[in-house]
Amino acid sequence: MDTPTLLTHLQTHDTALTLPRGGTLRWDDADLHRAAHAAGPEHYALLALAPGALPWQRARVLLQTLAASQAGLDDPTRGTLARLARVLTLALPPAHVITVLLALRRLRANHKHTTRTVLRFVLEHPDADALIAARRPALLDCFEHALGKTAARGCARRIDDGDTGSDYLRRRLLRFLAAPAAAPARVQALYAPAPAAGAAPGAAPALPDRPALALDTAREHPATVTATNRGDIAATLVHLYRGGPAADLHAALGRQLDAAARAFPRFAGTVALVLDASASMRGYGEREWAVLSQAAALRMLLSQVCDRLEVVEVGGDERAPRGATDLAAGVLDALGTGPDLVAVVSDGYENRFPGDLARVTATLPRAGVTTPVVFCHALFSAADDLALRRPDPSLPQRGFWHQDDFTALLPWMFAHCDAGSPWLDTALHARLDVLDRRAADLTTAIAA
Amino acid sequence: MTEMTALDTLLPGPLSLAGHRLGTPQQAGALTMVPVSGPARPGFVPPRTGLKLSRVTGYGRLELRNGAPAGVAIVPLHIGYVQDAAQNHALCRSALLGPGQKLLFEDACCVQQTQGGYLTGRDQWFFVLPGELRARALQLRGVHGYAKLWDDIADLNHRCGLPRRGHLEQILSRKRPVLTQFQSRLEPQPGQVGALFLVAGRFAGLELCPDPRYFAEMWPALACFAYGVAAWRTEPGPVPAAPYDAGTLAELRAALDRDRTDRLTGIAARIATAALDEPADVQEEERYLDLRLSTVTSPHLAGQIVTDGGRAVYASLFAR
């Protein structure tokens, strides 16, 4: 399966994993995940960190990664997968993780990397005490599955007897942990007697539902979208287009672009951008400049991130949008620059002539052109009606209206071309490094 | 048409459009718009910023004012005004208003059968009657009776799949989100002073304005309502994209160019066969200095024009 398809699946297929009591695991897209894992376990697993991947899809990646053997993988890859599993167990809602761990038990997956991840979740999660209080039987099952029932109970017995560091305990349990000091008390909690039958029912402690680690950056959600609350760069551009003080605004624009570009690694390839600068992109009334400013912000960001950016403007130009929208000729001009990727950035109102873009892209394979073409839908807000704004439904397409959307848009765009694969891995490795450091801080806090 | 076609070769003899030319057509669904460029005529007030609805003195009686200190206001043909909680009104004819002048249209029509209340001068947005109603409205100019268009509106609503009522706002307001997209789906060119419209490949109308600003202010009302309603009713469904027969990028570009040339030729042919140059009856209705406002009627065309020394300054002509 190609990366863009998998990425889109991770970001859109939102169904839960379920474990019916006494039944088999319900995992509707298991074949897809197994195939993607087999094609490259590290690349597959890293995609779970892509911005916008859904929690239940991330849970599936965790499940697949922990269920599969790591035989034949080199140490760096095993290290990456271990860190990723650690991050996901902290960044997913605890209930999702518990489902995954119970599924591993049901699947009888008992690799060493599985054991380590299970034990660290059960005994080292920042909310471990609350989790055990709320889901003790389930977590006890996970614990005994990880160690084996005999070893688990042997450890529990020794801990109950005051053992905190015997050879047995170290070899069976403590060697899997990063903060072993906290483990004995939690093992005792796992094996604490259940309330006697007939005892007065108390309110069951609630399961913490918030992940310990934030994976996706919280984004701005303005109650009312305006031309200037769609991110810093676009806001500054709108003021420039409206004739604001150029010196101040250009200085701010430079700072804002630098800050935005720092979030992305360098793309070692060429992107040809077909930029719709027709009259409709300017808009009118209170929305004037809103759509074009965000498209221009994307163009500016790509110019900082890409080794080479070729821009083909359609209609007028960024500062003077005008005239009709001829996307088909724009794509042909863009392909003439020899890019790794063609990205069409448009509001989708193709009028010279409607259908031409679709016919041109449908012809590309037989014309021997393999360069991927993607459609980046320039929107005013997430609520835009696109029914009449899809000039080529066959093209991969994704909308954007806020600067925050670039976080997911760029990986999606670059994933479509060969040059994007190393870029994506670099970007996701960098993301893993950051998250892993934050996960380590959480563990340190527990140990302290 | 790619190289711009002189417009005076296509239209009725009495209407001199010398100097006006057609540009490259654009399409959005069933609506084709051929831009018209030409000389800007100074001394005219644009309709949105210059022309104001001052009051409604009774149902079917609507007063407009040219609020500009200088310049003549040509009241656009079949303009109408919409306001919340008031009877929406439309005019059956055009008119000429000097600077500061007011004019009471006693032959206006209500387009909202059961809504009470009078329009006031605040919060105005205007439309142009949908093409399906224009021939009838023009026929009813000079006829007093605020309810005179209700049956035609009801029929149009029925054809649009809406309740058969004399409420034009069923289309204008309830279908506004889809209709107003025509304002963006088609994009006026810089300097454009008019447009020729085709709906589903057939000539639907010609609109000509004194200058680009006047046209820009008319654009939403024309694209979305005068012609957009018919285009919305005949919006084509998605068509599978058929690849061109091309084995290289160069061949693909050539195939696209050929296809476009064929389509432009087809559009030009459809305009040429629209019988726009057949003999027309031209009846003068009003004068203002050298300006003449006339009603044009031919077997397949109707509307009103404003000329200055025989040259067209304003035209709103539609297929009938």
Q: In terms of CA atoms, which chain A residue is nearest residue B184?
A: A280
Buried b (16+ CB within 10 A) or exposed e, A196-217: eeeeeeeeeeebbeebbbebee
Cβ-Cβ contacts under 8 Å for A237 (sequence gap 6 or more): A253, A289, A293, A296, A297
**A322, A324, A367: residue with CB nearest B246:** A367
Rounded distance, CA B276 to CA B318, Å?
10
**A278, A353, A364: residue with CB nearest B187:** A278
Over range B278-289, report the average pLDDT: 93
Which residues of chain A neighbour B27 with C-beta distances below 8 Å?
Answer: 351-354
Q: Is the pLDDT of residue B111 over 70?
A: yes
Say what the pLDDT of residue B11 is. Answer: 60
Say what the pLDDT of residue A263 is. Answer: 94
User: How many angstroms separate the CA of residue A100 from the nearest CA in chain B?
Assistant: 43
Cβ-Cβ contacts under 8 Å for B116 (sequence gap 6 or more): B87
Query: Are A323 and B185 in contact (CB < 8 Å)?
Result: no
Query: Are A366 and B243 in contact (CB < 8 Å)?
Result: yes
Question: What does the mean pLDDT of chain B come to?
Answer: 91
Say what the pLDDT of residue B4 is. Answer: 47
User: How many angstroms separate the CA of residue B154 from the nearest CA in chain A?
Assistant: 27
Q: How confident is the model at residue A247 (pLDDT cuts 50, 70, 90)?
A: very high
Domain chopping of chain B, boundaries: 5-235+271-319
Q: How confident is the model at residue A273 (pLDDT cuts 50, 70, 90)?
A: very high
Which residues of chain A neighbour B263 with C-beta distances below 8 Å?
Answer: 353
Say what the pLDDT of residue B17 is. Answer: 77
Q: Which of A353, A357, A371, A389 to mutate to test the interface with B (most CBs of B within 10 A)?
A: A353
Q: DSSP letters of A100-139?
A: HHHHHHHTT---HHHHHHHHHHHHHSTTHHHHHHHHHHHH
Tens of pLDDT, residue by residue over A35-60, are 999 999 999 999 999 999 999 999 99
Cβ-contact A60, A95 below 8 angstroms: no
Rounded distance, CA A138 to CA A358, Å?
53
Q: Which has more pLDDT, A265 or A21?
A: A265
Judge whether B237 is closer than 8 Å to chain A, CB to CB. no
Query: Are B241 and A388 in contact (CB < 8 Å)?
Result: no
Q: Is the pLDDT of residue A197 over 80?
A: no
Residue for token digits 């005004």?
B81
Say what the pLDDT of residue B146 is. Answer: 92
Reported ipTM: the value is 0.93
Over range A387-415, report the average pLDDT: 96
β-partners of residue B33 are: B26, B197
Q: Is the pLDDT of residue A198 over 80?
A: no
The 3-class SS string of B141-202 reads: CCCCCCCCCHHHHHHHHHHCCCCCCCECHHHHCCCHHHHCCHHHHCCCCCCEEEEEEEECCE
Enumerate residues 26 to 55 of chain B having a beta carbon within 8 A of any beta carbon in chain A. 26-29
Residue for token digits 């994209």?
B241
Q: Is the pLDDT of residue B85 over 60?
A: yes
Query: Are A351 and B187 in contact (CB < 8 Å)?
Result: yes
Residue for token digits 């999702």?
A96
Total beta-carbon pairs less than 8 A apart between chain A and chain B: 98
Rounded distance, CA B1 to CA A128, Å?
75
Cβ-Cβ contacts under 8 Å for A74 (sequence gap 6 or more): none
Tens of pLDDT, residue by residue over B175-221, are 999 999 999 999 999 999 999 999 999 999 999 999 999 999 999 99
Tens of pLDDT, residue by residue over A281-309, are 999 999 999 999 999 999 999 999 999 99
Which residues of chain A neighbour B243 with C-beta distances below 8 Å?
Answer: 359, 362-363, 366
User: How many angstroms separate the CA of residue B97 from the nearest CA in chain A?
Assistant: 28
Q: Is the pLDDT of residue B57 over 90?
A: no
**A325, A366, A394: residue with CB nearest B241:** A394
Rounded distance, CA B189 to CA B80, Å?
25
β-partners of residue B307 are: B292, B312
Q: Is the pLDDT of residue B2 over 50?
A: no
Rounded distance, CA A223 to CA A229, Å?
10
Measured in whole angstroms, how far is the alpha carbon of residue A337 from the centre of its chain?
31
Rounded distance, CA A55 to CA A17, Å?
11
Question: What does the mean pLDDT of chain A come to?
Answer: 94
Which residues of chain A neighbour B28 with C-beta distances below 8 Å?
Answer: 349, 351, 354, 388
**A280, A361, A393: residue with CB nearest B184:** A280
Q: How many residues does chain A have?
A: 448
- Tokens representing B294? 């006339």
Q: Is the pLDDT of residue B44 over 60?
A: yes
Q: Is the pLDDT of residue B275 over 80?
A: no
Say what the pLDDT of residue B274 is. Answer: 80
pLDDT more than 70, % of chain A: 97
Q: Is the pLDDT of residue B129 over 60?
A: yes
Q: Is the pLDDT of residue A333 over 90?
A: yes
Judge whether A359 is closer than 8 Å to chain B, CB to CB. yes
Q: Is the pLDDT of residue B123 over 60?
A: no
Q: In terms of CA atoms, which chain A residue is nearest residue B245?
A: A363
Query: Are B249 and A335 in contact (CB < 8 Å)?
Result: yes
Over range A343-347, report the average pLDDT: 98
User: How many angstroms separate the CA of residue B244 from the nearest CA in chain A?
Assistant: 6
pLDDT more than 70, % of chain B: 91
CA angle A268, A273, A274 (to 5 degrees): 165
Which residues of chain B neighbour A280 with C-beta distances below 8 Å?
Answer: 184-185, 187
What are the φ and ψ backbone dihedral angles of B26, each rounded to 5 degrees?
Answer: -125, 155
Rounded distance, CA A85 to CA A259, Å?
30
Query: Are A385 and B177 in contact (CB < 8 Å)?
Result: yes
Over range A325-343, report the average pLDDT: 98
Say what the pLDDT of residue B39 is. Answer: 93
Over range B141-161, report the average pLDDT: 96
Q: Is the pLDDT of residue B3 over 70?
A: no
Tens of pLDDT, residue by residue over A57-80, are 999 999 999 999 999 999 999 999
Say what the pLDDT of residue B1 is. Answer: 47
Tens of pLDDT, residue by residue over B208-226, are 999 999 999 999 999 999 9
Judge whether B241 is closer than 8 Å to chain A, CB to CB. yes
Q: Is the pLDDT of residue B55 over 90?
A: no
Radius of gyration of chain A (CA): 26
Over range B14-21, report the average pLDDT: 76
